[in-house]
Structure 1
Amino acid sequence: MSNRLVPVVLIALLLVLHGQLWFGRGSVRNVSKLQYQLEAQKVKNAQAALANDRLSAEIRDLKEGLEIVEEKARSELGMVKNNEIFVQIAR
């Protein structure tokens, strides 16, 4: 009786482990999906890092000099100096 029990237990254990491999939390499909999500998140992080670097440079420029303030006032607000004429060209 015990001679038959060992192979049955081993086969049952093999079936459970094989089921976990294909359908469980650490399954092949789930791991590949998580790897894809990780790569997508790395791309988003890289884009956010670039945006942060640009903003940091802009903040540093704003703190250090007035040229960027004048440039922003001209481009975003349409401000002009005394004795200047503003000409806007529409595209």
Structure 2
Amino acid sequence: MRLLTLCMIGVVILLQYRIWFGQNGVSEYQQLSSEVERQTASNATLKQRNQLIYADIRDLREASEAVEERARNELGMVKPAETFFRLIEKDTNPL
């Protein structure tokens, strides 16, 4: 009877060892959980960026003012009867 009890305790110890330190054990679970949290945060950032891009695309498709604004700011385009002035700030900190 004593031998059976020792064998059962040994089996339980081996199984506990595998649970805590073996493959697919608790340590690996904790690593994967932290990786999932990092990926979830990354996905949230990318989702927010995608929403901004979709809003910009929707604005460009639906409103001609957005196309005009982008052409003026990024390409420097002006209307035929306009005069373009660029104001440059004076350098207040000379080398």
TM-score strictly above 0.5: yes
Alpha-carbon shift at residue 68 of structure 1 (Å): 1.0
TM-score, scaled to structure 1 = 0.79
* Structure 1 unaligned residues grouped into runs of 5+: none
Match of 1:89 in 2: 88
CA displacement 1:31-68 (0-9 Å, x = unmatched): 22111111111111111110111111111111111111
Match of 2:18 in 1: 20
The one-letter amino acid paired with 2:58 is: R
RMSD: 2.1
Percent sequence identity is 38
Match of 1:29 in 2: 27
Alpha-carbon shift at residue 88 of structure 1 (Å): 5.4
TM-score, scaled to structure 2 = 0.77
Instruction: Answer yes or no: is the 8 Å Cα contact 1:22–1:29 preserved in 2.
Output: yes
Residues 58 and 71 of structure 1: is their aligned pair in 2 closer, same or farther, counting only changes over 3 Å?
A: same
Residues 89 and 32 of structure 1: is their aligned pair in 2 closer, same or farther, counting only changes over 3 Å?
A: farther
The one-letter amino acid paired with 2:64 is: L
Runs of 4+ in 1 over 3 A off after TM superposition: 88-91
The one-letter amino acid paired with 2:61 is: K
1:1-91 to 2 correspondence within 5 Å? 3-82=1-80, 83-87=82-86, 89=88
Number of aligned residue pairs: give it: 89
Q: Distance in 1 between matches of 2:56 and 2:45?
A: 17
